[in-house]
Structure 1
Amino acid sequence: MNRAKWFKVHSWVGFKLSILLSFTLVTGTLAVLSHELDWLTNSAMRVEASSVDKLDWLAIYKSAKAQQPNKHFLYLSAPLDPWFAAEVAYFDTEDTNHRNFFHPSTGEYLGDGRWYNWQRFFRMSHRHLMVPTKIGVTIVGALGFLLFVSLVTSLVVYRKWWTGFFRMPRRSHRKLFWADVHRLAGVWSLWFIAIIAVTGIWYFVEVWGLRADYPDRGKAHSEQAVDAKVLPSLTVFAKMLAQVEKAYPELTVTRVFFPQRNGDGVVFQGQADAILVRPRANMLSFDPISGELLVKNQGVNLSIHARLSEAADPLHFGTFAGFPSKVLYFIFGVVLSTLAISGTYIYGMRIARVPKSQPVSRAQFWRAATKTMTWGKWFSIVAIVVCLVITVLLFGGFITQ
């Protein structure tokens, strides 16, 4: 296949669904820093970093029980960074989720927050477009295949691409300028496109049956815990904390999950020796009544399949090195979003038939591009509109999910 045909393939895969692809890339880029957006918009999430000493799980749990004495907790969550508050999620009598925030060291109650916040919006709209997970992940994951083909074809179309890292865009002509911007952004983003494409494909194959198997979390033995979902007493919770430190000293706990079904244990999750894993890979499970250790799972002991699955989220969202890696991903997410949008604009300039005597209008290029998208345009628009309508209904409390 000659270079011209490779270019046609590159243009087609990056163009037909470019509206939906751009929406997915933009929401994914904002999802990377969505916790920080919530931090900016909710003062209850903010603490002075200098006031934080050691994370005191017992103080947080005690304060949460005092603040919500008749509620069942979903989890306790450690601060993402020293300037974040600790978070406690709980259910009300109608099984609606809520968030409370507490000082990480003193346990002081700082305020509450909506369950459906910026983080939930960008995460859900990016991951599955607010529609049922299997359908949404299939649509979004399929875009990973398009990104991967775009990546491969770009390396063929752009001859000697490795020489283009410092080739500045030419300004002699609009089409040349945007084509050069597209190439420049592309070569700097090659590593990022590869990661996003491969992890997107991984999510696609996972939802269609290739999900990894994980060790069992164990079942509670106490009669009361078997018959109902119960919270541990303060004494038992303190006992669990002591056992975590003794049985798994390498573990830095980031979340504590409470029973959500009869027979569930209290699960401590976090980071330890294994790299590129989600907190769930390292865990200890306890009986909520007796405090007995039920199960200890370590990320380093997971199967190769499970380790690959665990690496997907840290690599896709850039959480593997904390705030610095998230900022890096945000910057390259902006670049990748620009690639998708500029590619559509360039294609519009190529196909628009504008007489030389007629003034050039950017709107003409966009109209030409969107007209040629045919079914891809309407599929993208419908998917985005459905996502936004469900968002309004869900976040407005008109429906539940």
Structure 2
Amino acid sequence: MDRAKWFNVHSWVGVQLSILLCFVLITGTLATVSHEIDWVTNKAMRVAPSSVTKINWQAIYVSATEQSQTKHLSVIKQPTEDWFAAEVIAYDTNKQRYRMFFHPTTGEYLGEGRWYNWQVFFRMTHRHLMLPVKYGVPIISICAFLLLTSLITSFVVYRHWWKGFLRWPRKQHRKLFWSDIHRLLGAWNIWFILVVSITGVWYLLEVLGVRASYPDRGQVVSQQAKDNRVMPSPDVFLKAMKTVDIEFPDLDIKTVRFPTRKNAPMIVQGQSTAILVRDRANLISFDPMTGEFLSKFRGEQLNLVARVTEAVDPLHFGTFAGLPSRILYFVFGVLLSTLAVSGTYMFAMKTSRISHRQVFSKRKVWKSALSKMGFGKWFSYISITICLLIAFGLFTGLITQ
């Protein structure tokens, strides 16, 4: 296949679903800093860093139990940064989740927030368009395949592509300028496209049936915990947290999860010596009625499929090194979104047959691009509209889960 045909493939995959692709890229970019967006919009999440020493899990638990409407908590989360409050997810009287925030050291109650916050919106929108996972993830995965195809074809279309790393955009005329912008952004985004597209394909494989197996989390032993959903008493909670220091001393605790059904243990998760794993890869469990130690496992004990599964989220969202890596992903997400827009703009200028010296209307250019998208345009419109309607319903309470 000659370069002209490769270019046609490159243009086609970059344009047909460009509206949906840009939507997915922009929401994914904002998802990397969505926790910070919530921090800005909800003052209950803010604490003075100078007032925080060591996190006091016991104080937070006792305070959360007192503040909870139903006394049924789901999880306690360690603050992601020194200026964040500790977060507790609980259930209200209608069995709907909501958030409470506490000072990490004193356990002082600071306020609450809704379950459907900016973080949930951007993550659910980016991952599965607010649709059921089995439908939404395959749609989003189309974008991953488009990105991979665009990347592969670009190596053929753009000769000496490696020179694009250092070529500053020329300004002789607009077509040349945008072509150089596209090459520059494409060259610097090669690694990022590979990471987000390959991990995006893995999400599809999970939906299609690739399942990781994990070690046993332990079975509760008390009859009360077998027959009912049990919340540990403050003394039992304290006993369990002290046992963590003995049985898993190098565990940096990130979350404490409580039973959401009968016959379920209390689980403590976090980070240890394994790299590129989610918090759930390092785990220790307890009977919620007695605080008896049940089981534990480390990230290093997971099999290959489980390790890959655990690495996908940190790599896709850039959470593997905390705030610095998420800022890096945000920057490259902006660049990748710009790359997608610039590619569509270049295609539109070419198909509208506008001379580089001709004065033209940008509206005419974009109208030309839309006319070439065909079915992809309507598929994008419908997908995004359904996503936003579901989001509106969830955030206004018209739809409940």
Give the TM-score band, short-chain normalised. over 0.9
Runs of 4+ residues deviating >4 angstroms: 354-358
Per the normalisation by structure 1, the TM-score is 0.98
The aligned residue for residue 353 of structure 2 is 353
Shift of 1:355: 7.9
1:210 partner SS: coil
CA distance in 2, matches of 1:150, 1:353: 23
The aligned residue for residue 206 of structure 1 is 206
Shift of 1:272: 0.3
**Structure 2 portions without partners, runs of 5+:** none
Q: Check conservation: 1:52, 1:105, Cα contact below 8 A.
A: yes
Shift of 1:211: 2.1
Shift of 1:219: 2.1
Q: Check conservation: 1:142, 1:204, Cα contact below 8 A.
A: no
The aligned residue for residue 43 of structure 1 is 43
The aligned residue for residue 105 of structure 2 is 105
2:209 partner SS: helix
1:1-400 mapped onto 2 (5 Å cutoff): 1-68=1-68, 70-354=70-354, 359-400=359-400
CA distance in 1, matches of 2:294, 2:355: 76
Amino acid at match of 2:148: F
Deviations 1:153-205 (A, max 9, x none): 11121111111212111111111111110110010111001101100011111
Q: 1:206 to 1:70 in 2, by over 3 A?
A: closer
Q: Report which stretch shifted further, 224-233 or 69-78.
A: 69-78
Deviations 1:31-76 (A, max 9, x none): 0000000001111000111111001100100111122263200100
Amino acid at match of 2:77: S
CA distance in 1, matches of 2:69, 2:345: 57
Q: Check conservation: 2:72, 2:231, Cα contact below 8 A.
A: yes
Deviations 1:269-308 (A, max 9, x none): 0000100000000001100011111110111110011001
Give identity over the alignment, percent.
Answer: 57
CA distance in 2, matches of 1:283, 1:17: 41
Q: Check conservation: 2:174, 2:356, Cα contact below 8 A.
A: no
**Structure 1 portions without partners, runs of 5+:** none
Q: Report which stretch shifted further, 254-263 or 351-360.
A: 351-360
Q: Check conservation: 2:173, 2:356, Cα contact below 8 A.
A: no
CA distance in 2, matches of 1:32, 1:99: 20
CA distance in 2, matches of 1:71, 1:240: 19
CA distance in 2, matches of 1:122, 1:92: 24
Q: 1:276 to 1:358 in 2, by over 3 A?
A: closer
Shift of 1:346: 0.7
Per the normalisation by structure 2, the TM-score is 0.98
Q: Check conservation: 1:76, 1:88, Cα contact below 8 A.
A: yes
1:196 partner SS: helix
Q: Report which stretch shifted further, 67-76 or 297-306.
A: 67-76
1:285 partner SS: strand
CA distance in 1, matches of 2:359, 2:323: 47
2:208 partner SS: helix
Q: Check conservation: 2:10, 2:154, Cα contact below 8 A.
A: yes
